[in-house]
Structures are given as structure tokens and as C-alpha cells.
Amino acid sequence: MNTTPTEHTARIEHACSVCAVPITPGTRYRRWRWFFENIAGTVKIHPDCEALLGDHFEAWDGDTLSEMLTGWMLSEQAEAAIARCSDRAVAAGWQALVEVAT
């Protein structure tokens, strides 16, 4: 189960749960909580990362985050999505992740 994502402005630096690029103070990000059996966690994500993953993220079926991301990075849509990313630091982080995955 997940809570509804909410939008926030960072007051302190966070690491994006998806790309690990810092979410710097003053930057907008989305946050939600997830619960599975007796485990809970918080996801903090750049809007660009959420947009990059698009439908792949919406269709996430419970694989680990790592498995879901690896599947996306190996998909045909990854390169085009990274090219459309408006935050060049996030795009560079994603490009490095794709190179490691392939």
C-alpha cells in the first residue's frame, strides 16, 4: 500500500530515492510513504525522475525498486526519456545508471 504522493519544497538536502542525485534545498520534489507487511519506507523523488519513468513507474507491480529500475533502463524508452529531461544533473545521473545496467 502507498500513500498519495504530495509535493514539497526541500528545506534540507535529500537524496532522490530513484537516481540518488541530491534534492537540494529550495528544490521541489514528490514524497510518499509505502507499507508492505510490517515494513514502511519513504520515497522522495525529483519530478523529472517521476516523468522519466512515466508509465513504467505507474505499472510498477511490486518488484523491488532496483528490479523495476533495471527493467526500465534496459527498455527502449530510456534513452529518449533521458534526452527530454530538463535537469541536466539528473539526466547525467540516469545516463550513468543506464551505462552500468547495459
Mind listing the pLDDT tens digit for each residue in 71-95? 766 767 777 777 777 788 888 887 8
Written as one string, the DSSP assignment of 1-51 is -BPPPEEEE-SS-EE-TTT--EE-TT-EEEEEEEEETTEEEEEEE-HHHHH
More confident residue, 44 or 20: 44
Whether the model pTM is above 0.85:
no
Q: Which three cell numbers stand for residue 84?
A: 527530454
Coarse DSSP helix, strand, coil percentages of the chain, rounded to the nearest 5 percent: 40, 25, 35
Domain residue spans in the chain? 6-101
